[in-house]
């Protein structure tokens, strides 16, 4: 009997490269010149970089001169945080469910970092933020606030525009991590009110190792250290990754074109979720607005690592959480912040206790089909049933 084709549902970690991005990257590799050189080869390389800059800008409603290429979303987040601290912020406010690439630079700055709480659905507590901003001490510099437009583990979408209004009213700045959101929902830097916005190529189907920081006109971001070279407006100097950037641009253009396909995944994801819920799974953030192709399920007594391994053996690839932490045994900090660990006051406390270490995340993308989500649900239910039988015997 032939085995069913493998199903890849780990796009939030890395999307398979798009054909358009692969072609663009290969063409750029063949140029073989430095984009800072003034000869014909250099001009060809520069043209490839600038075309990609326009394509990336188009994905988020920006102008080309607002896009600074980086090595990825991690570096883009770090530049935004370190730039804000260099500009005088002494008490950054970072959403408690943020990626480490945003939270850790703030904590490493030596300044007190405020962890902005979320509710049980993973939605930012705006009342808490209003209170913090109302009591802001001018000695801490202008407020700097950072949040992800969509969470990498749960897919929960935040009201960035509402946050921006609060922050700007007190003269602060807002950084939006749009790494997971871009290409899955419409993203417009002006509509969001973001002062800086980070992107990552490989989440869209571009090669790994390239990203961007998009800087709004009102933002002030300078180089963190003195460095030679004037590339990327002096903010991120060094010879550009021409092939990666070209692939990023092509992937961004394709992602913008394919936004309707991304929206279709809501129904496919929800149908899979209903099947998992019949087996006792809890869907993290189910009551909030979420990205269309992201499902984070928690199942009591079914450890994350075991779920990933059992599904992988049956040809379905998912993860236990953020790609940067899914190989670790520790519980997800995102789910802990949402209350899936510790002593809780709500009526469901006993069941939620410890669930942060029994989560699995399935995430679709540009090549995902409805059949992929059906196959995932079938394999997960079968794996759960086998696990339950083994537990009953033990």
pLDDT band at 251 (very low <50, low <70, confident <90, very high): very high
pLDDT tens across 308-320, in order?
Answer: 999 999 999 999 8
- CA 269 to chain CA centroid, Å, is 18
The pLDDT assigned to 95 comes to 96
Summarize the confidence of residues 107-123 as an average pLDDT: 92
Residue whose C-alpha is closest to residue 204's, from 245, 161, 265 = 245
How would you write 262-328 as a 3-class SS string?
Answer: HHHHHHHHHHHHHHHHCCCCEECCCCCCECCCEEEEECCCCCHHHHHHHHHHCCEECECCCCCCCCC
How far apart CA 12 and CA 222 sit, in angstroms, is 30
Active-site pick, 27, 89, 296, 324 = 324
Tokens of 362: 């399935």
pLDDT band at 238 (very low <50, low <70, confident <90, very high): confident
Tokens of 218: 């009102």
Summarize the confidence of residues 32-50 as an average pLDDT: 95
Is residue 342 pLDDT above 50, yes or no? no
Helix (H, G, I), strand (E, B) or coil at 62: coil
Is residue 226 pLDDT above 80, yes or no? no
| Mean of pLDDT over the chain | 90
Catalytic residue status for 296 = no
The pLDDT assigned to 87 comes to 86
How far apart CA 67 and CA 34 sit, in angstroms, is 19
pTM of the model: 0.92
The pLDDT assigned to 339 comes to 87
pLDDT tens across 62-105, in order?
Answer: 999 999 999 999 999 999 999 999 888 899 999 999 999 999 98
The pLDDT assigned to 330 comes to 56
Q: Give 178 or 109, the one with higher predicted confidence.
A: 178
The pLDDT assigned to 233 comes to 73
Is residue 394 pLDDT above 80, yes or no? no
Summarize the confidence of residues 216-243 as an average pLDDT: 74
Residue whose C-alpha is closest to residue 364's, from 184, 99, 199, 185 = 184
User: Mean pLDDT lowest for which of 165-169, 301-305, 384-388?
Assistant: 301-305
The pLDDT assigned to 227 comes to 54
How far apart CA 124 and CA 93 sit, in angstroms, is 12
**All domains in the chain, ordered by first residue:** 7-16+259-393 (3.90.1150.10), 19-256 (3.40.640.10)
pLDDT band at 241 (very low <50, low <70, confident <90, very high): very high
The pLDDT assigned to 2 comes to 55
Share of the chain above pLDDT 90, in %: 77
């Amino acid at each position: 009997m032939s085995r069913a084709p493998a199903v890849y549902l780990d796009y939030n970690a890395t999307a398979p490269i798009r054909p358009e991005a692969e072609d663009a990257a290969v063409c750029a590799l063949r140029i073989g010149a430095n984009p800072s050189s003034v000869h014909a080869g250099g001009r060809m390389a520069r043209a490839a970089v600038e075309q990609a800059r326009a394509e990336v800008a188009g994905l988020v409603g920006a102008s080309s001169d607002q896009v600074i290429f980086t090595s990825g979303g991690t570096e883009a987040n770090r530049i935004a945080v370190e730039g804000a601290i260099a500009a005088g912020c002494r008490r950054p406010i970072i959403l408690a469910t943020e990626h480490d690439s945003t939270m850790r630079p703030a904590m490493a700055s030596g300044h007190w970092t405020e962890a902005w709480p979320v509710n049980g659905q993973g939605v930012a507590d705006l009342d808490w933020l209003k209170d913090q901003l109302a009591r802001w001490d001018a000695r801490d510099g202008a407020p700097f606030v950072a949040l992800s437009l969509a969470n990498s583990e749960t897919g929960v979408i935040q009201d960035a525009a509402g946050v921006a209004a609060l922050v700007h009213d007190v003269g602060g700045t807002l950084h939006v991590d749009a790494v997971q959101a871009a290409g899955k929902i419409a993203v417009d830097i002006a509509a969001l009110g973001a002062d800086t916005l980070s992107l990552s190529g490989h989440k869209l189907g571009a090669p790994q190792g390239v990203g961007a920081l998009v800087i709004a006109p009102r933002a002030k971001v300078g180089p963190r250290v003195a460095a030679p070279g004037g590339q990327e407006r002096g903010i991120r100097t060094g010879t550009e990754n021409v092939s990666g950037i070209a692939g990023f641009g092509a992937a961004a253009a394709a992602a913008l074109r394919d936004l309707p396909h991304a929206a279709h995944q809501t129904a496919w994801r929800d149908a899979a979720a209903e099947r998992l819920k019949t087996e006792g799974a809890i869907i993290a953030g189910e009551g909030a607005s979420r990205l269309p192709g992201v499902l984070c399920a928690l199942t009591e007594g079914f450890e994350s690592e075991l779920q990933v391994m059992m599904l992988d053996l049956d040809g379905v690839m998912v993860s236990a959480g953020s790609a940067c932490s899914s190989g670790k045994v520790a519980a997800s900090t995102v789910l802990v912040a949402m209350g899936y660990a510790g002593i809780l006051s709500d009526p469901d406390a006993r069941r939620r206790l410890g669930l942060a270490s029994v989560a699995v995340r399935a995430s679709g993308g540009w090549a995902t089909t409805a059949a992929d989500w059906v196959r995932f649900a079938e394999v997960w239910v079968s794996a759960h049933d086998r696990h339950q039988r083994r537990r009953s015997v033990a």
